[in-house]
Amino acid sequence: MTLLAAFFRMIRYPNLIYIALTQLLLQYCVVRPVLLNSGAEPSLTLPHFLMLTLSTILVAAGGYIINDYFDINIDLVNKPEKMVVDRIINRRWAMAWHTILNMAGVSLGFLVAFQIGQFYLGFVQVICTLLLWFYSTSFKRQVLIGNVVISILTALSVVVVGFYEKQIYSSFEAIMSFEGRKLIKIIGVYATFAFVLSMVREIVKDMEDMIGDSKDGCRTLPIVWGLKKTKRFTILLMVILQALLITIMIVTGLKEWYAAVAYIFVFVLVPFTFFVQKPFLTAYSPEQYHKISTWIKIVMLTGILSMIFFKIML
């Protein structure tokens, strides 16, 4: 493997594409059309939006690197063939890249925040950087905390676009306006979807990595609670997600967006039920959990792509 290929594997480039696609669709299929239809000019111009997305991607990439840095002992057991840090890229260079990417990401975040007149928003990226550091060094080894932190950060990658559109929350009147309430609801639904689905995936990954995690002294849910209790909790989260999807389908159907209803049913609810939930009930091996985790990423992608319907129907 070349150094460049190893670097892209280390920063999890497919996940970074997910983040960029999520923010792109939210901004240009949801936020911008709603604001323009109400006669308001979006705060984020195209250059500002690209800078914000790049900032988010850089911070996330730095987080993946530092996670691999502190997971060397775990990865030696769980997935030695996929290791990059300390095998292809040495630890010193990994830490250097972590620092460079974080500094660039935080700087870009502050630059965009300053240029739109909301300098304090730059601290969002600082908070994300700190959470990713503490997740890698401590939180992920504690019961539930690590799962919640990653799920919050996943939801935050959606919400942050709304943060930078100050028209949504600049005043009480803006929040209570038709457009403000509409955007808050839409962003809130996608953020909730991202949070719950990320929680499910993080727990499934913990079940997949139980052997290496236990040898490194981690106290993840399946290690502390046991597989049976962890499965029950995860199934509860899955049912909550299904209820959310059904509610969205009902509300969307009442608006007569029948194509969107069909899309959510066929490409989000059905795959989640039959390729995530159903196999999960009987899964017991790391290979089975890995396959379920992959399907969760596919469902996340199809869920993200549903934003296109807002562009068509708004």
Amino acid symbol at 116: I
User: Dihedral through CA 180, CA 184, CA 187, CA 191, nearest 10?
Assistant: 160
Per-residue pLDDT at 80: 78
pTM, entire model: 0.92
- Give me the phi and psi of 89, to 5 degrees please: -110, 125
pLDDT one-digit tens code per residue, 64-115: 999 999 888 787 877 777 788 878 888 999 999 999 999 999 999 999 999 9
Per-residue pLDDT at 173: 62
Mean pLDDT, 10 residues at a time, the chain of 314 residues: 85 94 95 85 91 97 93 80 84 94 97 91 94 92 92 93 78 64 90 97 94 84 94 97 97 94 97 97 94 97 94 76
| Cβ atoms of 57 and 19 closer than 8 Å | yes
pLDDT one-digit tens code per residue, 249-286: 999 999 999 999 999 999 999 999 999 999 999 999 99
Q: Can you give the chain as a three-state secondary structure string?
A: CCHHHHHHHHCCHHHHHHHHHHHHHHHHHHHHHHHHHCCCCCCCCHHHHHHHHHHHHHHHHHHHHHHHHHCHHHHHHHCHHHCCECCCECHHHHHHHHHHHHHHHHHHHHHHHHHCCCHHHHHHHHHHHHHHHHHHHCHHHCCCHHHHHHHHHHHHHHHHHHHCCHHHCCCHHHHHCHHHHHHHHHHHHHHHHHHHHHHHHHHHHHHHCHHHHHHCCCCCHHHHHCHHHHHHHHHHHHHHHHHHHHHHHHHHHHCCCHHHHHHHHHHHHHHHHHHHHHHHHHCCCHHHHHHHHHHHHHHHHHHHHCCHHHHHHC
Q: Tokens in use for 15?
A: 């996940």
Per-residue pLDDT at 171: 54
